[in-house]
Amino acid sequence: MVKVTDSCFEATGRTSFICDFSPPRSGDANVVAQAQIDADFISVAYNPGRAARANSAMLAAAIQRSGKNTVFTLATRDMNKLAVQSQLLGAQMLGVDNVVVVQGDPFNEREQSLVATVNDYQPTGLIAAIAQMNQGLDFRDAKLRTATDFCIGATVDLGRGIEEEAQLAVRKVRAGAEFLMTQPIFNVDHVARYRESYAYHAGKAGTLPIYFGLQILQQDGVLFSSVPDSVRSELEGGRSGVDIALELYQKFQEARFNNIYLMPPIKRGGARNYEAAKEFLEKATRL
């Protein structure tokens, strides 16, 4: 199993890609074939859309058996401490060592009548708990028979406020995060401001690998509020979402963003266009 920190630009000197992947709303093992994408890691999301989907760690293990390195996402929203740590031990048994901790989108009013929000951990607390498991202790401070060996990731969303996210990132790193992943970035100048703010609050410049979010869009796909109007206009004018992403990727390269978190287009209804991700990766390697 290859860890993210061993395959990032800082370790290898070459651009590293993590590609987002949504688990199916079924137990159909054929979905593994869709994950044959030429990225360094396939990152399996945790119940996107707040819907019942295949378990992220189990699917990551199945994809890994097909020869791809993986990352799995784990949300604090749905499980108590005992369930979370049991799942982590199971993931370790399956040989899945890269985990990204998130909180998970909140349930809407209707969903709250059907399912309970748990949040026994907050993301920073779960990061610290996984780091403690790596030292051989569970949530009761009882010794595990064997310490875990997770490579722990955390998320950053600069769209929520650069100053606030920098402070939060400092806390996550101090808790034990070893790499960071950002939500989609369309303005590279925001990253410079984030780095300055992070260095101020941490008392030193950040040295952890950061995988910068690069989203591929498509005209008939799901667009989020963070997408600039100029990009929306280009899509509406018929420009390919892959071409727009490649132009942004060149800006990333010029700004020395050498770790990329690639997000394939999301179609109406939640399906993903992985062919667009494959096209992007093929063309990006030729730039």
Domain extents for the chain?
A: 4-284
Rounded CA-CA distance 75/122 in Å is: 9
Calculate the average pLDDT of the chain: 95
pLDDT at 222: 82
Q: How confident is the model at residue 224 (pLDDT cuts 50, 70, 90)?
A: confident
Q: How confident is the model at residue 221 (pLDDT cuts 50, 70, 90)?
A: confident
Give the pLDDT confidence of 93-103 residue by residue, as tens digits: 999 999 999 99
Among candidate residues 255, 279, 253, the one with its CA nearest the CA of residue 265: 279
pLDDT on residue 242: 97
Confidence check: pLDDT of 225 > 80:
no
pLDDT tens digits, one per residue of 90-141: 999 999 999 999 999 889 989 999 999 999 999 999 999 999 999 999 999 9
Torsion angle in degrees (nearest 10) through CA of 30, 242, 11, 164: -100
* Mean pLDDT, residues 216-235 taken together: 88
pLDDT at residue 267, rounded to an integer: 85
Confidence of residue 283 (pLDDT cuts 50, 70, 90): very high
Angle at Cα 277 formed by Cα 191 and Cα 87, nearest 5°? Answer: 80
The CATH number of domain 4-284 is 3.20.20.220:
yes
